Amino acid sequence: MSKLAALDDLLELYYQLNYHQNPDIFQRLQDVQAWQKTRMQSTHLRQFSEKHNIIMSEYFLNRLYGGSDFDALAGQIARLMKYAHKAEKLIPENAIKTGTSGVSLAILAVQLDEQVAMQLLKDYHPHEKLTDEMMRLTYLKLDQGQQRLQQLDLLDQLGLSLDKYMRSFMVYTAFKMCKGAASKYNFQVMYEFMQDGFLAMKPLKSAEKFVKDFTAVERQIIHQVHAADPNPFQYQ
């Protein structure tokens, strides 16, 4: 079986999401993602403001939580599958596994946020500005707690993999050697997705620690939502 087969399965899941065929869901999804990013910036202000964390925090918000160019990235991954046998010779196996984990997390984030967007469309006017209270009630109604916790568990695993595999000089050297081919065959978006990950890791002593600090706070937020805290998105 191809080492890239998991990516093929993820793409199939991604293209089955409702927002691809429904502009109202797409617009509300964008609203939810914008609210999520603003909320996370506020919740994690102290961690994200530390100098060595700034680039990684931007990668988190703009890449792993539904970046605006994810459709383009998905399209390039789909094209890559046509050349899977060649790509597997160029890209180290551990880099493939780690990259697949990152893509999986990005798709899961979109999947969960799409559920929120669809529920909001049922309960509120489609152009009503999102508020913390609307989001709190919607999270409670959907009862996504276990899925969100699973998302954080996967994120913890990704942090461990980043430290274990992606700090290798050999892996990074092999990756840089692919730059010319990425440009020649129009895979720049995919290359930049991975390159941004390497650059975000560089100032960190440990990607695993950054991720665990982040997920610890997010788990507390999830607990507060489902404990009926009236202000669950505030964290001290």
pLDDT digits (tens, 9 = 90+) for 53-85: 999 999 888 877 766 678 888 888 887 777 666
* Mean pLDDT in residue range 219-232: 95
Q: What is the pLDDT of residue 97?
A: 80
Residue pair 149/219 in contact by the 8 Å Cβ criterion: yes
Using alpha carbons, select from 61, 35, 215 the residue that is nearest to residue 135.
35
pTM: 0.88
pLDDT digits (tens, 9 = 90+) for 155-196: 999 899 888 877 776 677 777 777 787 777 777 777 788 788
pLDDT at 2: 64
